[in-house]
Amino acid sequence: MSLALHSIYMNKGFCKTNDRKMKIVFLLLLLNKVSPFQFPKIKFVGISSKDALDDVPKRHIEMGEGEHLRQSLEKHLRSQESLSGDPPHSSLRWEPYLQGSCDVANVLFQEIVQIARARYHCNSDSKNLDTQITSPRVVSCPSMSRPTDLESIATVLRSDKCKMLLGLEDAAVELYPASPSPYLRLTFSTVEKTQKTSVEGNETGVEGNESLHTVSCEAAIHATKNWVDNFLGKYNLCPYTSSVSKAAVGLTTVGVPVGHVHVVAGSTNITDDPKKRRDYYILRVAELVNEFWSETVTLLKSPESDWATSLVVFPEFDNDFDSFVDVCDNVVQPIIAATSSTDYIGRAWFHPKYDADTVGHTSVVPGHAVPHKMVQQFIDKVYGSLNLRGNKMTLSELAIANNKVRMTPHATINILRRSQLTAAAEYEKGLGEKKPKPNSIYVRNALKLNEILKGDAKK
């Protein structure tokens, strides 16, 4: 239709007509039928529009525009606070070059532990100091490889359990393009609120001086190294660790060098104050989690020939197994999952009072020992029954032996390299008929420790 009208209008005879009204009518019809110009749609192969958006802040950093980006973010934050009615008092931590989510988690818990330390040592009578301590902290990492991990981390931190354990009020995230640079904003409970919680009800699980441990970090490290050499290595409970100086043993054929066990210890460095027990509990949790992420980053950035694996020791949880498990299961493990850190590390919880029955799990749970009844099933598959070599082992004896494997001198988190766990599986796969039977390590350790414990009882 439009093509026909165009032909009629362009006809010289028509153009010479004196009927101006008819010409206008035909022109309007023509314009109504012609479609407006549209840019052609371009399809990018191998990259999504979302991925392209996520990379925009990073490209600004790569082009040397970091300072301008930071200023834009600060302006945006002031605008957001103005809209919410809050005074502009957020503290910004600008980390333009951090890419890994493990590094970002490390920085976040550095901020959390700083607040926890200040909260404990503050004078609760000073309202201005309280405002300063609990002011929001903003962490922005424009070069993050997976900025959406910030949303996963915030979801964990917003849980009721994390709020209570870490003294948090909220965790909020904005990503590009809503914000010039991706960030996570932490807000904290007031000192008055946490102290009120402590007075109204002892939710902390801290019972008087029993929660504190007077062992120094140096003594705790020495005791832990001695445990590795004279228990774990001596009885070959871990087939790839023979001593503190020899870990990842036997994996050279799959490209893994022998390295050391890195042992570090953390502490709050304070004495008990009954009036600040709630704040002490928050500080203790924050220090442990901060120590874990700090050591995770250290391990991953160190050559395997230096540190094959790490043990993070925290004696102030020695008399509080329930709280230690609470922190590991509800803070450490969920953040590991939120940052996809299982691609790089494995983890295991150890404690002088470790008890799988107290944990109450009936299936494999990240970080924990395999449940006793599962080990019993493994024994049944390997040997047919618990009656072995004429020495009968009861389920209660099995439970004691199974727990013993996880009993360290002090509360401890073992950080393992995922690459070494994968290499160990490849090594065993290559053994052919000599390959250990599935789950035989749990069977062997339970049997060995049962014999050792019986021998000790006779002495």
b/e burial code for range 51-83 (CB count within 10 A of at least 16 → b): eeebbebbebbeeeebeebbebbbebbeebbee
Structural contact between residues 77 and 178, judged by C-beta atoms closer than 8 angstroms:
no
Cis geometry, peptide bond prior to residue 87 (ω within 30 degrees of 0): no
Q: Which of 283, 243, 280, 249 is nearest to 263 (CA)?
A: 243
Q: What are the pLDDT tens digits along the chain (459 aa)?
A: 443 434 433 444 444 444 555 555 455 444 454 444 343 443 434 445 556 677 999 999 999 999 999 999 999 999 888 776 655 567 999 999 999 999 999 999 999 999 999 988 876 555 555 555 668 999 999 999 999 999 999 999 999 999 999 999 999 999 999 999 999 999 998 755 555 544 344 444 444 445 566 789 999 999 999 999 999 999 999 989 999 999 999 999 999 999 999 999 999 988 777 888 899 999 999 999 999 999 999 999 999 999 999 999 999 999 999 999 999 999 999 999 999 999 999 999 999 999 999 999 999 999 999 999 999 998 888 776 555 555 568 899 999 999 999 999 999 999 999 999 999 999 888 888 888 888 889 999 999 999 999 877 666
Distance (Å, rounded) from C-alpha 227 to C-alpha 171?
40
Q: What is the pTM of this model?
A: 0.84
Pairing outcome for strands 168-174 and 241-243: unpaired
Type of residue numbered 145: S
Structural contact between residues 284 and 273, judged by C-beta atoms closer than 8 angstroms:
no
Distance (Å, rounded) from C-alpha 310 to C-alpha 412?
10
